[in-house]
């Protein structure tokens, strides 16, 4: 086969991975490659992998093997993303189907591409993935990654070991990307969003002027992954002033003893006070959070504290995830492993409780007016729904995609609502 002409890109994992894939696609376009809809049509098949927890790693391996079976003869299979960065040597040794492992910053299409034998060049990026240009968004909304890496030392998380320390982009770089995306809604993402700018000496709250400047350019700006200790009054006011009072809080748990074992700040009482303060400031505020279940040493009292918090907080959206042991983390050395069966019972109890809360909060919307951005024919979102992770608003399929419409909620369907 000669020089590659076409590519197929499969993206797994979180929104930050989706941003990386968008930037890879921009690079592919600059190199003259054309995207195709099926792996059996591509000269290069690329898998942007996730390695956050065991389930994500297994999904990555399964996807690699599936795409290997689907690709046409002579097509190159490339693995990039977190699995390539964190487990590249294992992939090279155990998956002979893979033609190239490309950790972060390795050019996939250029002459500097690294073959399966990673060698010493693995840690020497050939281009800056964080600041690569992206094509205009094909959707009315788009993620924008404002920083890479993390300086925190949470007991359960290995991200700093393979994403590295916090590295913030300049405001000018971010604003240029926002302008080029031509999206109606910008969703800001990072491993530690509110820490933006600290590593560049821009100050403790440089996220605030950034949000304000983006809000001057687009109709909506939404923030994901806020560490609770950084949720200052000024940041709350800034978020509310954008017209998108949506608070995605990275809480993880609420029991004080367990939070200390997690190396995390805060507890349920502090979190509830902050949520109450925000609701007093903006009654229409929406909240999302995620919690880890079965962390080493989690007791029945810890679990009961989390149940009580979920009941009292009445968050709009919650994700509950089973603790996943990660090599090289503080938690790997802790005693108090929680029985798998007990962990799963706790997960089921929490998810059932939250499903009831979400359903009840959605029922309260019936009869209310909502401003909806139509993402695709028949599907839209208000300020209460982040793309891809929350429920949606079902709208008449005659409404123009990419435009805002003022509608009335007429019915609910679990996490989704209908409006016309």
Number of H-type helices and E-type strands within the chain:
11, 18
Of the two residues 103 and 315, the one the predictor is more confident about is: 315
Task: Report the 10 Å Cβ neighbour count for 120.
Answer: 6
Q: Region 360-369: what's the mean pLDDT?
A: 97
Give the model's pLDDT for residue 208.
94
Q: Write the CATH number of the domain with boundaries 135-363.
A: 3.80.30.20
- How many residues can be counted in the chain? 420
User: Residue 391: its pLDDT value, please?
Assistant: 97
b/e map 290-326, b = 16+ CB within 10 Å: bbbbbbbbbeeebbebbeebbeebebbbbebbbbbeb
Rounded Cα–Cα distance for residues 160 and 165 (Å): 6
Amino acid 111: pLDDT: 37
For the chain, how far is it from start to end, CA to CA, in angstroms? 53
Min mean pLDDT across 5-9, 16-20, 298-302 is at 16-20
C-beta separation of 300 from 258 below 8 A: no
pTM over 0.85: no
Separation CA 109–CA 88 (nearest Å): 18
The CATH architecture that domain 369-419 belongs to is: Beta Barrel (2.40)
When the pLDDT of each residue in the chain is averaged and rounded to a whole number, the result is 89
Mean pLDDT of 34-57: 88
Phi, psi of 177, rounded to the nearest 5 degrees: -65, -45
Mean pLDDT along residues 71-90: 87
| pLDDT number for residue 148 | 87
Locate all alpha helices (DSSP H) within 45-170, ordered by sequence: 54-70, 82-94, 159-163
Q: Is pLDDT of 19 > 90?
A: no
Nearest residue to 122 via CA among 138, 137, 104: 104
Q: How far is CA 215 from the centre of its chain?
A: 21
Across the beta sheet with 6-11, what order do the strands follow? Answer: 34-35, 6-11, 44-49, 76-81, 100-102
Q: How far is CA 99 from CA 59, 96, 105, 297, in A?
A: 19, 7, 17, 42
Quote the pLDDT of residue 159: 83
Q: Which segments of the chain belong to CATH 2.40.50.140?
A: 369-419
According to the model, what pLDDT value does residue 53 have? 73
Tell me which of 199-208, 296-305, 323-332 is least confident. Answer: 199-208
Share of the chain above pLDDT 90, in %: 70
Tell me which architecture the domain covering 6-129 has in CATH. 3-Layer(aba) Sandwich (3.40)
What digits encode the pLDDT tens for the residues 196-249? 988 887 655 689 999 999 999 999 999 999 999 999 999 999 999 999 999 999
Q: Report pLDDT digits (tens) over 94-140.
A: 899 999 888 766 666 653 333 333 333 333 343 456 777 788 899 99
Which residue blocks in 282-333 are alpha helix, DSSP H?
300-313
What is the predicted pLDDT for the residue at 129? 66
Residue 103: is it exposed, middle or buried by C-beta count within 10 angstroms (0-12/13-18/19+)?
buried
Averaged pLDDT for residues 380-404: 97
CB 57 within 8 A of CB 95: no
199 three-state secondary structure: helix
What whole-number distance in Å separates Cα of residue 299 and Cα of residue 304?
A: 9
In tens, the pLDDT along 271-291 reads 999 999 999 999 999 999 999
pLDDT at 2 exceeding the cut of 70: no
Q: What is the mean pLDDT of residues 13-31?
A: 82
Domain with CATH 3.40.50.12160 in the chain: 6-129
Tell me which of 96 and 405 has the higher pLDDT: 405
pLDDT for the residue 236: 96
The pLDDT value recorded for residue 90 is 85
Tell me the average pLDDT across 365-373. 97
Domain with CATH 3.80.30.20 in the chain: 135-363
pLDDT score at 89:
83
Which pLDDT tens digit goes with each residue over 148-171?
889 999 999 988 887 788 889 999
Q: Tell which residue, 204, 78, 218, has the closest CA to residue 144.
A: 218
Query: Would you call 330 exposed, middle or buried from its count of C-beta atoms within 10 A (0-12, 13-18, 19+)?
Result: middle
């Amino acid at each position: 086969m000669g020089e590659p002409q076409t590519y197929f890109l499969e993206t797994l994992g979180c929104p930050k991975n989706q941003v990386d894939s968008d930037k890879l696609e921009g690079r592919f376009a600059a190199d003259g490659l054309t995207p195709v809809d099926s792996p059996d049509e591509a000269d290069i098949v690329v898998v942007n992998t996730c390695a956050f927890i065991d389930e994500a790693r297994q999904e990555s391996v399964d996807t690699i093997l599936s795409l290997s079976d689907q690709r046409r003869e002579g097509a190159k299979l490339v693995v990039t993303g977190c699995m390539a960065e964190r487990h590249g040597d294992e992939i090279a040794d155990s998956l002979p189907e893979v033609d190239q492992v490309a950790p972060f910053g390795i050019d996939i299409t250029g002459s500097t591409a690294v073959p399966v034998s990673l060698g010493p060049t693995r840690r020497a990026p050939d281009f800056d993935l964080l600041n690569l240009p992206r094509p205009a968004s094909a959707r009315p909304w788009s993620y924008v990654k404002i920083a890479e890496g993390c300086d925190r030392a949470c007991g359960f998380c290995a991200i700093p070991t393979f994403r590295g320390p916090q590295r913030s982009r300049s405001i000018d770089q971010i604003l240029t990307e926002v302008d080029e995306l031509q999206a109606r809604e910008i969703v800001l993402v990072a491993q530690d969003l509110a820490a933006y700018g600290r590593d560049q000496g821009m100050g403790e709250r440089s996220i605030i002027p950034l949000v304000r400047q983006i809000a001057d350019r687009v109709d909506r700006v939404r923030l994901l992954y806020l560490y609770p200790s950084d949720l200052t009054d000024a940041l709350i006011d800034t978020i509310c002033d954008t017209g998108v009072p949506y608070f995605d809080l990275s809480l993880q748990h609420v029991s004080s003893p367990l939070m200390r074992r997690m190396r995390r700040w805060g507890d349920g009482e502090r979190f509830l006070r902050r949520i109450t303060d925000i609701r007093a400031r903006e009654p229409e505020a929406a909240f999302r959070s995620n919690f880890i279940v079965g962390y080493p040493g989690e007791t029945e009292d810890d679990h009961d504290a989390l149940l009580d918090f979920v009941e009292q907080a009445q968050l709009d959206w919650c994700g509950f995830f089973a603790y996943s042991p990660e090599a090289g983390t503080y938690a790997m050395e802790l005693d108090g492993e929680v029985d798998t069966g007990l962990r799963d019972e706790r997960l089921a109890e929490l998810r059932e409780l939250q499903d009831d809360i979400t359903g009840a909060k959605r029922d309260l919307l019936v009869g209310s007016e909502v401003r909806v951005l139509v993402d695709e024919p028949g599907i839209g979102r208000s300020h209460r729904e982040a793309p891809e992770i929350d429920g949606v608003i079902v709208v008449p399929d005659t409404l123009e995609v990419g435009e805002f419409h003022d509608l009335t909620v007429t019915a609910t369907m679990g996490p989704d609502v209908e409006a016309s």
